Structure 1
Amino acid sequence: MMAPSRPFSLKPDLTSYELPLNEKTRNFLRLEQFFSEIQKGIDEKSCDSARMALIQMIELCDFIQRVDIKKDLIQELEIIISSFKQLSGNPNVDSKSLTKLLSEMNEGLNFLRIRDYQPGNLLQKDELAIQVRHRLGISGGACHFDIPRLYYWINKSEVERTTQLNEWMEDLRPILWANKLILRVVRESGQASNATATNGFYQETLNTNAKYYLLRIHLPKEGSIFPEISGGKHRFTIRFYMHSSTKLKPQKSDENIEFFVEHCGITS
């Protein structure tokens, strides 16, 4: 089934940097960021966090429509299901757990395939959300004096705000579920290896026969080094920089730096 998480990836003293290697993965990571910020806004339960959660939901819905994320999620789920089916009969795999997981994935996939399912439709038809969306194109345009109705809503009780936010989230949850599953499978597919950047520079040519989605670079949190990663499906480079202060430009490192690198993908 899913590859087990490597111990080092769970250590709190490591920071993981990621580079998507195709447009789909780039959009999946952006989707993940949207959902993370929305959930934080819901969990914090304050007036300001509710306002920010609503704005993030509106921007998320616009993003979903613009890039047709539903189609991309369906395609990747089909690949994952096909890959997992090949594990049937493997003595190292719990057949009951695999059957249950495949059933859940097929159920989720079938829901996404429903023609009438349009993620974010609830929010897009909501009059308050429509009013807020019209003001978002103006810098600072969603102030309390611009949209009194928004100010009224965020000052309702915590229970009412949270209930409304969760209602708006309802038809976005299938997208959230699919995106979390895909990124989990991609990340857990990686095999970690040690690498060394000579004089702060590292370059690698990728195996063109492999279908890589994501690169993950793991560095200790201690110290002042961070990577800038660039590349595509054929090769990638990493340049390491030293951070001293936000007031100053980072300086290129000329040290030999050891780190972990993971090449992540889904095999169909």
Structure 2
Amino acid sequence: MAQDEPYQHHAALMALFEVLEAAGRTELKSELLQELERQKQALESWRESPAIEQVALEQVLDEIELASQHLLELSSRFGQHLRENEWLMAIKQRSIIPGGTCSFDLPSYHLWLQQPVAQRRADLQRWSLPLMPTAQAAAILLKLLRDSGKHFSYVARRGAFQQMSGGKVVQLIRVSFDERYQVVPEVSANKYALNIRFIDAGTGEVRSRQVEQDIEFTLTFCKF
């Protein structure tokens, strides 16, 4: 959105449509509020603990409180202002068709793309602003979840790693490794086991395959 070119603002609008689809569930607001309240209560139990930096704790609690207030102030479903904009919905509908946003199909959209940068940026900000309370709440919860992680070092022998769950329940798994390996992790998991295969990143000229070398990596298990 901070960029100036028409194609960049086109990409920003397409991303806005994707967010609308991904976060359009009616129960999202209530679920976020419930989780924020649950995290608030959990963190409040650490008040006065000598093991916790109290200034940082109060800052997080203030962020949770503010995010909850902003969510409660929302009077409509996530992205409802976008759904009620017939012009935007016409663009969204055409955007799922290959080549569907060409100028002969959406002349008014291409006219908008040629408007001054300041006007396009103001429109994008106006369309995005009502989504920010939801985005901020989700960002706070994701940060708390990631910060809760416990780190373990492993080696994937010949590019493969498996670990039985042993009844362990996690909400997020993070895989970290040195970029010198030039590999991509493929992760699959169920209630019984976690499997990771490290695939040669390749150049796009040959089919990617599991590497034969040992890969040192860090596995982070995150759970509220």
TM-score, normalised to structure 1, is 0.75
Cα RMSD, aligned residues only: 2.2
CA distance in 1, matches of 2:127, 2:189: 37
Using CA pairs under 8 Å that are at least 6 residues apart, name the structure with larger relative contact order, 1 or 2. 1
CA distance in 1, matches of 2:192, 2:43: 27
Deviations 1:169-208 (Å, cap 9, x if unpaired)?
A: 1110011101111111111111222101123221112353
Q: Which residue of 1 aligns with 2:35?
A: 76
Q: Which residue of 2 aligns with 1:214?
A: 172
Q: Is the counterpart of residue 142 in structure 1 residue 123 in structure 2?
A: no
Q: Which residue of 1 aligns with 2:7?
A: 48
Deviations 1:119-144 (Å, cap 9, x if unpaired)?
A: 21222222321221232242211111
Does the CA-based 8 Å contact 1:225-1:241 persist in structure 2? yes
User: Which AA in structure 1 matches 2:12?
Assistant: A
Does the CA-based 8 Å contact 2:173-2:220 persist in structure 1? yes
Does the CA-based 8 Å contact 2:26-2:78 persist in structure 1? no
Once the two structures are TM-superposed, the CA of residue 114 in structure 1 deviates from its matched residue by: 5.0
For residues 25-36 of structure 1, what are the structure 2 equivalents within 5 Å? none
CA distance in 2, matches of 1:66, 1:139: 26
Q: Percent identity?
A: 24
* Worse-matched range after superposition: 240-249 or 141-150: 240-249
Does the CA-based 8 Å contact 1:58-1:129 persist in structure 2? no
Once the two structures are TM-superposed, the CA of residue 64 in structure 1 deviates from its matched residue by: 1.9
Q: Is the counterpart of residue 235 in structure 1 residue 193 in structure 2?
A: yes
Q: Is the counterpart of residue 131 in structure 1 residue 82 in structure 2?
A: no
Does the CA-based 8 Å contact 1:200-1:239 persist in structure 2? yes
Inter-CA distance 116–155: structure 2 relative to 1 (3 Å threshold): same
Q: Which residue of 1 aligns with 2:125?
A: 166
Once the two structures are TM-superposed, the CA of residue 96 in structure 1 deviates from its matched residue by: 4.3
Does the CA-based 8 Å contact 1:212-1:263 persist in structure 2? yes
Q: Is the counterpart of residue 154 in structure 1 residue 103 in structure 2?
A: no
CA distance in 1, matches of 2:137, 2:203: 39
Deviations 1:182-241 (Å, cap 9, x if unpaired)?
A: 111111111222101123221112353x54111111111113333211103442111122
Does the CA-based 8 Å contact 2:170-2:222 persist in structure 1? yes
Inter-CA distance 155–201: structure 2 relative to 1 (3 Å threshold): same
CA distance in 1, matches of 2:165, 2:147: 19
* Pair member with larger Rg: 2
Q: Is the counterpart of residue 264 in structure 1 residue 222 in structure 2?
A: yes
Inter-CA distance 225–107: structure 2 relative to 1 (3 Å threshold): closer
TM-score, normalised to structure 2, is 0.89
Q: Which residue of 2 aligns with 1:188?
A: 147
Once the two structures are TM-superposed, the CA of residue 153 in structure 1 deviates from its matched residue by: 0.9
Gaps of 5+ in 2: none
User: Which AA in structure 1 matches 2:175?
Assistant: I
Does the CA-based 8 Å contact 1:121-1:171 persist in structure 2? no
User: Which AA in structure 1 matches 2:136?
Assistant: W
Once the two structures are TM-superposed, the CA of residue 150 in structure 1 deviates from its matched residue by: 0.6
Q: Which residue of 2 aligns with 1:89?
A: 48
* Worse-matched range after superposition: 186-195 or 226-235: 226-235
Once the two structures are TM-superposed, the CA of residue 97 in structure 1 deviates from its matched residue by: 4.0
